[in-house]
Structure 1
Amino acid sequence: MGSRRRKKAYQKGVLAEIVAAAWLNLKGYRIRERRFKCSYGEIDLIAERGKTIIFVEVKARGTAQEAAEAIQRPQRQRISRAANWYIARHLPEADAAHFGYRFDSILLVPWRWPCHILDAWQEES
């Protein structure tokens, strides 16, 4: 029973990330990575708009408040570490100096438009 619930939660998460990526595309963002994983953590979406790299955490819950509260400090720290690893490995130093970075969240609630929170938190170590 537990594995069935886990599989359903995983599928819900993947669908939420697809919806969030489509939403960002409609807003003029270019998706660089989906479900980026490294030894430091996982980032749901990495997007680019202009000279800004955006690390996006996607949460789907019953309410926007529940979704926002689901992004706790330890998770933000893991995302920050993974973002630093991504920058160090995927952007040449010359490019990295010209880009800004931020952490956004996209909150998904049934029967509502996605809620895109720009600069949802500052980098944590």
Structure 2
Amino acid sequence: MKRPWRVRLGSRSRAAGRLAEVWAAAWLMAKGYQVLGFRLKAGGGEIDLLARRGRTLALVEDKRRESPEAALESLLPDQRARLVKAGRTLVARRRGLQGLDLRLDLFAFAPGHWPRHFRGLIVEDERTV
């Protein structure tokens, strides 16, 4: 049985994560992206946000850490690979997404800093997928 303080901590973390996703979505829409989905599960991974602008399909992960750099460092190679695999699975399932260039992005949230959008951590154009 979970302790009450542990349940409260988990609830606060989930709420903070949801708020970060909303912030990231609003930021992307202001930049001209179309947000296609939140928390999409596919291919053994979960994509926080899926967004499209032109021929680019962005798999967007959001991280809250003590600094934007720490958030970037926390996205390890195995997690990056899982996210790209999940993105490929989504593209294969949805005909409307096929032929788009796939890109992994990160939104970093840190206390005392503006959110930072790291674009193109992994880029796969339609010819490499």
What TM-score, normalized to structure 1?
0.87
Could you report, residue by residue, the CA deviation over 1:1-46 in whole angstroms, capped at 9, with x for unpaired residues?
2222111111111111110000001111100111111351100000
Q: What one-letter code is carried by the residue in structure 1 that aligns with 2:13? A: A
State the SS of the aligned residue for 1:86.
Answer: helix
Number of equivalent positions: 120
2:95 to 91, 96, 117: 91
Residues 22-31 or 4-13, more deviating? 4-13
2:50 to 26, 33, 46: 46
State the SS of the aligned residue for 1:110.
Answer: coil
Supply the distance in 1 between the matched residues of 2:122 and 2:98 (Cα, whole angstroms): 20
The residue correspondences of 1:1-125 to structure 2 (distance < 5 A) are 1-38=5-42, 40-92=44-96, 96-97=98-99, 99-122=100-123
Supply the distance in 1 between the matched residues of 2:74 and 2:54 (Cα, whole angstroms): 29
State the SS of the aligned residue for 2:103.
Answer: strand
CA RMSD of aligned residues (A): 1.6
* Unpaired stretches in structure 2, ≥5 consecutive residues: 125-129
Q: What one-letter code is carried by the residue in structure 2 that aligns with 1:65? A: E
* Unpaired stretches in structure 1, ≥5 consecutive residues: none
Supply the distance in 2 between the matched residues of 1:87 and 1:119 (Cα, whole angstroms): 18
**Larger Rg computed on CA atoms:** 2
Q: Cα–Cα, structure 1 residues 39 and 56, in superposed 2: closer, same or farther, change >3 Å? A: same
What is the aligned-residue identity percentage?
Answer: 36
